[in-house]
Structure 1
Amino acid sequence: VYSLFVIERSLSLPLLIRVCLKKGKSLRQSLKEHGLLEDFLKKHPLTTWPPSISPAWPKRLPVDYYGTISIGTPAQDFTVVFDTGSSNLWAPSVYCSSAACTNHNKFNPSDSITYEATSQSLSIQYGTGSMTGILAYDTVQVGGIADTKQIFGLSETEPGSTFYYAPFDGILGLAFPSIASSGATPIFDNMIKEGLVSQDLFSVYLSSDEQSGSVVMFSVIDSSYYSGSLKWIPLSAETYWEITMDSITIDGETIACSGGCQAIIDTGTSLLAGPSTGISNIDSYTGASNGTRCLLHTDISCSAMSSLPNIVFTINGIEFPVPASAYIIDVSVLLRKLPQGLLYYVVFDRANNQMGLASVA
């Protein structure tokens, strides 16, 4: 897993910063290979969902796409998930006593001349893992952006197997300050405050090519990644990137989210999660069986996909169809997703508290 950063400037465009992502082995696949997936799923049911979205909402298995940032002076590199479903930046540290830190890069404060300690502690509980540690300040490089006094977490414990088998080192949260643990300022908020971005937005494109093409971009909307026009959706809360969804339909029939519901678009979760009734309805309409879940795993054969319907998510009066090729996982190949990238180019617009979606080019 690696990332590169590219800085571009033209006479007509402001600074455009890209952090290139590579699709690595997923946590799900790593657990499967080590014979731990079945036990893991029993301990972390994939269909649990609270009555309403709240800061306590648990996260699910992380996605496959990771990029590299650096912390400290001189730079120490870490692979992270760019996660719009959480707000804290943290990395493993030399203070960590957990097994998960033995096979990941660890931050060493003694090696950074710009490190500033604090007396604050940090504790984050994810649905599939947790960490505790301390907070400190240092220079964080994200692509070509040097955030010279960014608060971040240094892990002291990462219990369990979740982060041990994760192919990334840490997490870079891109959600709102209201859900940041210990009141830590999220990195994108600090970038905005320090004037490090020309526009208060970032965007995400995931390629079907596992080796290259995927990217998170700061400051500029790049129209070469999408076709048609961006469809703008207002946020319903400044917590996660939370929106109001109108309905979920198949063949014109509402099967979930009847009358509207709250939803989030989360780059740190690769699966569809929701109320058990709605998920069961989706399973029923798409032919899943044996307790499996759409966008999770299913025993539907690859040959049957052509006959399966689109799942249509209607948001702000706009239909966003998802074909079977995007919601079926082939369990015969270590639960690997069938080759596809993100169906939609997504813009996360902090300046206007809205999200923009458009079909990928």
Structure 2
Amino acid sequence: MLSKLLVLVFAAGVATAEIARIPLKKFEKPRDSLNRNGLKEALLAKYSGNVNDDSAVVLTNYLDAQYYGEIGIGTPAQSFNVIFDTGSSNLWVPSSKCGFLEVACLLHNKYDSDKSSTYVKNDTQFAIRYGSGDVAGVVSQDVVEVGGLQAKDQLFAEATQEPGLAFLVGKFDGILGMGYPEISVNGITPVFNTLVEQGAIKEPVFSFYLNRDPDGNVGGELLLGGSDPNYYKGDFTYVDVSAKGYWQIVMDSLNVGSSLKLCSNACQVIVDTGTSLIAGPSAEVEKLHQEIGAFSFLNGEYIIDCNKVDQLPEISFVFGEKEFKLAGNDYVLKQSNGLIDICISGFMGLDLDTRTHVEWILGDVFIGKFYTEFDFGNNRVGLAEAV
């Protein structure tokens, strides 16, 4: 792949007509709980709707999303930290037009159209469902810069309403969706697709490296236009997208050690960079937790004895007859209050609407272990073990 060769030539942070690198920062957040009840509600909203409904597309609970990067909007560029989310397809950032009662908006960077010479008024109403409320505002047009590349005349949303604690305490300002255009609100072309259409990127491929090392200096990297062999071992295993909208693929099975097999007749899964955990049917996740010796605690969390993490069974996700294995240290999240360590399962039970046919959501717990390539050109997802 040409873009892979180019990656070896150009230094990090440099954009060419074919590739761009966006450093990702890791949001280290002090919290006592993963608040899985709230996360479950948000994910149910996100993945239980009709992906062809232009009125609203739903967002996950970004309180648990840890990785974000910087983009610019306007001329001169106004900077924003955004979560690059493969589970949605629109770009929105806070607006300078938000009211004084919108605290979440006031505490973050805001787009001011009066300060951009390339702004074009659109004013179409915009809403993205978030749990019990909506992120709402108006559509505008301007230049969007990502990794040194410019998406000209890009439509995006200026958010004037941002309900929910997630947006209030989040380190990010907005969301840049990287899903298929089929789930884009108002039929807006996603930023990445605009970059491809305008020739800023040659190959319609992007890839994520998420650093799960809590002591690491770099949170990760998003590469537009290809993948970087310095971040993975061996070759990619490619899995075809089974339904355009989200990055939805078929998983052959999920095995816990050698004694428990889940998703035994194959199942639909979504690879979602905007979700931190791995979510699956409640009954199956309950069996998984029983198998690894986890016990239910508060807010839907499952606790594991920290002294036994190293002895936990491997959990294998099978795609294309190849196993992708997570060890206990990969799927257990360790938290400390300074006195004691608490080890929490990275799996959660979630029963999605059967109309979506989706059963599992693979978030950052999975993507952090496996370098992931999203290929629009061939409608496939590539997985390889991260270094």
TM-score category of the 2 structures, normalised to the smaller one: 0.7 to 0.9
Judging changes above 3 Å, is the alpha-carbon distance between structure 1 residues 264 and 42 closer, same or farther for their aligned structure 2 residues? closer
Match of 1:16 in 2: 19
Aligned equivalents of 1:213 and 1:124: distance in 2? 27
What's the TM-score once normalised by structure 2's chain length?
0.81
User: Do the aligned partners of 2:240 and 2:249 also contact (CA within 8 Å) in 1?
Assistant: yes
Judging changes above 3 Å, is the alpha-carbon distance between structure 1 residues 314 and 275 closer, same or farther for their aligned structure 2 residues? same
Aligned equivalents of 2:378 and 2:121: distance in 1? 34
Match of 2:296 in 1: 290
Unaligned runs of 5+ in 1: none
What's the TM-score once normalised by structure 1's chain length?
0.86
Aligned length, in residue pairs: 343
What one-letter code is carried by the residue in structure 2 that aligns with 1:23? K
What one-letter code is carried by the residue in structure 1 that aligns with 2:376? R
Match of 1:146 in 2: 150
Match of 1:318 in 2: 322
Judging changes above 3 Å, is the alpha-carbon distance between structure 1 residues 310 and 57 closer, same or farther for their aligned structure 2 residues? farther
User: Do the aligned partners of 1:70 and 1:141 also contact (CA within 8 Å) in 2?
Assistant: yes
Q: Which is worse superposed, 82-91 or 205-214? A: 205-214
The C-alpha deviation readout for 1:118-143, integer Å capped at 9, x for no partner, is: 13111001348640010011000001
Judging changes above 3 Å, is the alpha-carbon distance between structure 1 residues 305 and 46 closer, same or farther for their aligned structure 2 residues? farther
Match of 2:354 in 1: none
Aligned equivalents of 2:97 and 2:42: distance in 1? 35
Aligned equivalents of 1:355 and 1:133: distance in 2? 33
Judging changes above 3 Å, is the alpha-carbon distance between structure 1 residues 265 and 335 closer, same or farther for their aligned structure 2 residues? farther
Q: Which is worse superposed, 317-326 or 121-130? A: 121-130
User: Do the aligned partners of 1:48 and 1:275 also contact (CA within 8 Å) in 2?
Assistant: no
What one-letter code is carried by the residue in structure 2 that aligns with 1:316? G
User: How far is 1:252 from its partner?
Assistant: 2.8
User: Do the aligned partners of 1:7 and 1:15 also contact (CA within 8 Å) in 2?
Assistant: no
Judging changes above 3 Å, is the alpha-carbon distance between structure 1 residues 223 and 202 closer, same or farther for their aligned structure 2 residues? same
Aligned equivalents of 2:61 and 2:68: distance in 1? 16
Name the SS of the counterpart of 2:123 in structure 1: strand
User: Do the aligned partners of 2:289 and 2:302 also contact (CA within 8 Å) in 1?
Assistant: no
Judging changes above 3 Å, is the alpha-carbon distance between structure 1 residues 249 and 287 closer, same or farther for their aligned structure 2 residues? same
Matched, 1:342 2:358: no
The C-alpha deviation readout for 1:6-39, integer Å capped at 9, x for no partner, is: 1166xxxx7431001111234xx45x4xxxx58x
Superposed counterparts of 1:267-306, under 5 Å: 267-291=273-297, 297-306=301-310
User: How far is 1:291 from its partner?
Assistant: 4.7
User: How far is 1:224 from its partner?
Assistant: 1.3
Judging changes above 3 Å, is the alpha-carbon distance between structure 1 residues 74 and 335 closer, same or farther for their aligned structure 2 residues? farther
What one-letter code is carried by the residue in structure 2 that aligns with 1:152? F
Match of 1:263 in 2: 269
Judging changes above 3 Å, is the alpha-carbon distance between structure 1 residues 117 and 254 closer, same or farther for their aligned structure 2 residues? farther
Give the superposed CA RMSD: 2.8
Match of 1:242 in 2: 248
Superposed counterparts of 1:96-115, under 5 Å: 96-97=98-99, 98-115=102-119
Q: Which is worse superposed, 79-88 or 123-132? A: 123-132
Unaligned runs of 5+ in 2: 1-10, 52-56, 347-364
Superposed counterparts of 1:1-361, under 5 Å: 6-7=13-14, 15-26=18-29, 29=30, 32=32, 41-45=36-40, 49=44, 55=51, 59-61=60-62, 62-97=64-99, 98-127=102-131, 130-207=134-211, 208=213, 209-212=215-218, 214-291=220-297, 297-333=301-337, 342-361=368-387
User: How far is 1:190 from its partner?
Assistant: 0.9
User: Do the aligned partners of 1:60 and 1:271 also contact (CA within 8 Å) in 2?
Assistant: no
User: How far is 1:322 from its partner?
Assistant: 1.0
Judging changes above 3 Å, is the alpha-carbon distance between structure 1 residues 124 and 328 closer, same or farther for their aligned structure 2 residues? same
Name the SS of the counterpart of 2:235 in structure 1: coil
Judging changes above 3 Å, is the alpha-carbon distance between structure 1 residues 47 and 252 closer, same or farther for their aligned structure 2 residues? farther
User: How far is 1:54 from its partner?
Assistant: 5.2
Name the SS of the counterpart of 2:287 in structure 1: helix
User: How far is 1:319 from its partner?
Assistant: 0.9
The C-alpha deviation readout for 1:187-236, integer Å capped at 9, x for no partner, is: 11111111110111001111225431610001122111111111111110
Judging changes above 3 Å, is the alpha-carbon distance between structure 1 residues 264 and 103 closer, same or farther for their aligned structure 2 residues? same
Q: Which is worse superposed, 194-203 or 210-219? A: 210-219
Aligned equivalents of 2:208 and 2:132: distance in 1? 24
User: Do the aligned partners of 1:128 and 1:162 also contact (CA within 8 Å) in 2?
Assistant: no
Judging changes above 3 Å, is the alpha-carbon distance between structure 1 residues 5 and 144 closer, same or farther for their aligned structure 2 residues? farther
Name the SS of the counterpart of 1:175 in structure 2: coil
User: Do the aligned partners of 1:150 and 1:190 also contact (CA within 8 Å) in 2?
Assistant: yes
Judging changes above 3 Å, is the alpha-carbon distance between structure 1 residues 312 and 69 closer, same or farther for their aligned structure 2 residues? same
User: Do the aligned partners of 1:103 and 1:164 also contact (CA within 8 Å) in 2?
Assistant: yes
The C-alpha deviation readout for 1:125-171, integer Å capped at 9, x for no partner, is: 13486400100110000011011111101001001222001110000
Aligned equivalents of 2:173 and 2:192: distance in 1? 19
